[in-house]
Structure 1
């Protein structure tokens, strides 16, 4: 990649995201440069600007662009670009909770449901964020997210995803929760209800202490207990939830090593302003290779430039 590519980047550091607010922000200038880049199909400048502004700044740019040109920026990008580059730049334009609503809709669209993506989003977002995502889903698709989720899932897995969608941290006693989970595993068929109730209504610090107590009592790791005692979609969902409670960065990094490019892109975009630095560190620890290098080995051209700009740097 051209070493001069990032010379104009002026970031203000201090969060766990890789994409930060641009400190020398002039939306009128950005809108004019984007207009010129679209006319010339100057993809490098489009990538430079849109990956080097926070999402809030991109919203201002989009509004300013529309005032300047009387055109919608998303539509203009779709007209000028195609393929993976179009996809990632359009996704960067979406407000974060609308973007997660889109990801949920895509996970439930067509034949079959992408259960793991459903669980990934529901397990890594707070109760407050999930309420915002539900509102965004209603606005975008004129449908109730909870009803859609119920229609696409069944059994204990449906109960789990609905409970996560409505999760609120409540009060629990560690030893009592340990005993409830242990007792649920004693019968011939494990009882899913305590796992749903407890794991969707306690904070992660509390639950990690519960897991430690359960492991001491059973002599087995929590993920081993889940693997042995549950089955089907519910087992998958519970495994994802347990991993996200224990360490969401490790789970997401593991996901990046196994997923197809569209899902890799969606995780990077969704977490670029929150915790992608942590995910990058976990990826390096798991694979022995930085995410930045892995991207260079897998992709090329303007799309690679965009992904590297979101990733930001080597580890």
Structure 2
């Protein structure tokens, strides 16, 4: 049974508050101002308000905060908080698409490019969110995400990301055809491990950028039958560098996006050091979508709760705000 069936999905950990409006936003804003005014800061109030309201509600709280006090909520948070606690709090003050767009810009600004972050965001997003990130990037920076990728990246990874940003993926009407999936699986095989010498990267990019998600999911299953090998293993063998990671990320997300994010969270905390930016980015942006399901997948796969894993890797108010998101 597919995990993505709506009847089994639990959704996010942050839920919409019924009948939330300006009076409730004003009250929350007043509590926040009191928590940050004078000597000392009441971090407990900040954590409570930011993690018990949706992005839309937090935006209204920020807008009403400015109306009531003539101050910018994000600037006040910056002045009162620090470290990754501040990073997480500010992330919660953004719409998901805006936050991810900011990370795309950060990944390409200055010397060098952070391809791993771009892969996580652009290849880990489904097309609707990808288009929202693209639009947010243009809105925030008055520049094209596609143009910046064109100038900052090169080779096959640039081709793939530009193709994904075209938003030309086919829409699936009804159930995907198994015969069509077998045909595409054979095309992928012949473009990769079945090809005598070399790999047809263009064919992989075309298929991954234009085929509907349900048909790609079925194709991944049929590839294993046809080639007696998984598509992930074939990509690992045939590709290298960032294009390999991008295609494998897409395969994992198409098969089971919840499991992909559980895996990415585990890897962010596994071994020495913690990838705090990855941890915050996933917990915040999935908090209203499927974090409850990610929690289940994490525990099932790694035999430890996500909350316990985060508790072991973080401390103080930073730990508290992440645990409040996780619930």
TM-score by length of 1: 0.90
What is the match of residue 41 of structure 2? 41
Aligned length: 299
Return 5+ residue gaps in structure 1 as ranges.
1-13
* Distance in 1 of aligned mates of 2:255 and 2:10: 21
| Residues 115 and 237 in structure 1, CA contact (< 8 A), matched pair in contact too | no
Tell me which of 183, 187, 205 is aligned to 1:180.
Answer: 187
2:280 is equivalent to residue 254 of structure 1: no
2:210 is equivalent to residue 210 of structure 1: no
Tell me which of 222, 228, 231 is aligned to 2:231.
Answer: 222
* Distance in 2 of aligned mates of 1:188 and 1:94: 48
* Distance in 2 of aligned mates of 1:203 and 1:100: 23
| Residues 97 and 136 in structure 2, CA contact (< 8 A), matched pair in contact too | yes
Range moving further from structure 2, 65-74 or 280-289: 280-289
- Superposition RMSD in Å: 1.7
| Residues 116 and 242 in structure 2, CA contact (< 8 A), matched pair in contact too | no
* Distance in 2 of aligned mates of 1:129 and 1:227: 27
Correspondence list, 1:57-206, <5 A: 57-170=57-170, 173-185=180-192, 186-206=195-215
* Distance in 1 of aligned mates of 2:107 and 2:322: 22
Range moving further from structure 2, 127-136 or 263-272: 127-136
What is the match of residue 29 of structure 1? 27
What is the match of residue 299 of structure 1? 314
| Residues 252 and 279 in structure 1, CA contact (< 8 A), matched pair in contact too | yes
Correspondence list, 1:250-289, <5 A: 250-259=259-268, 260-289=275-304
Return 5+ residue gaps in structure 2 as ranges.
1-8, 172-176, 269-274
* Distance in 2 of aligned mates of 1:218 and 1:47: 51
TM-superposed CA distance for 1:24, in Å, is 6.5
- Give 3-state SS (helix, strand or coil) of 1:247's partner: helix
Tell me which of 4, 11, 16 is aligned to 1:16.
Answer: 11
| Residues 182 and 223 in structure 2, CA contact (< 8 A), matched pair in contact too | no
Range moving further from structure 2, 292-301 or 48-57: 292-301
TM-score by length of 2: 0.87
TM-superposed CA distance for 1:104, in Å, is 1.2
* Distance in 2 of aligned mates of 1:15 and 1:227: 33
TM-superposed CA distance for 1:187, in Å, is 2.6
* Distance in 2 of aligned mates of 1:89 and 1:60: 16
TM-superposed CA distance for 1:198, in Å, is 1.0
Output one character per residue of 1:51-87: Cα deviation in whole Å (capped at 9) or x when no partner.
1101100011001100110011111111111211111
Output one character per residue of 1:84-113: Cα deviation in whole Å (capped at 9) or x when no partner.
111111110111211110121122233332
What is the match of residue 324 of structure 2? 309
* Distance in 1 of aligned mates of 2:221 and 2:311: 39
* Distance in 1 of aligned mates of 2:128 and 2:230: 30
Tell me which of 230, 233, 243 is aligned to 2:242.
Answer: 233
* Distance in 1 of aligned mates of 2:288 and 2:158: 30
* Distance in 2 of aligned mates of 1:15 and 1:230: 36
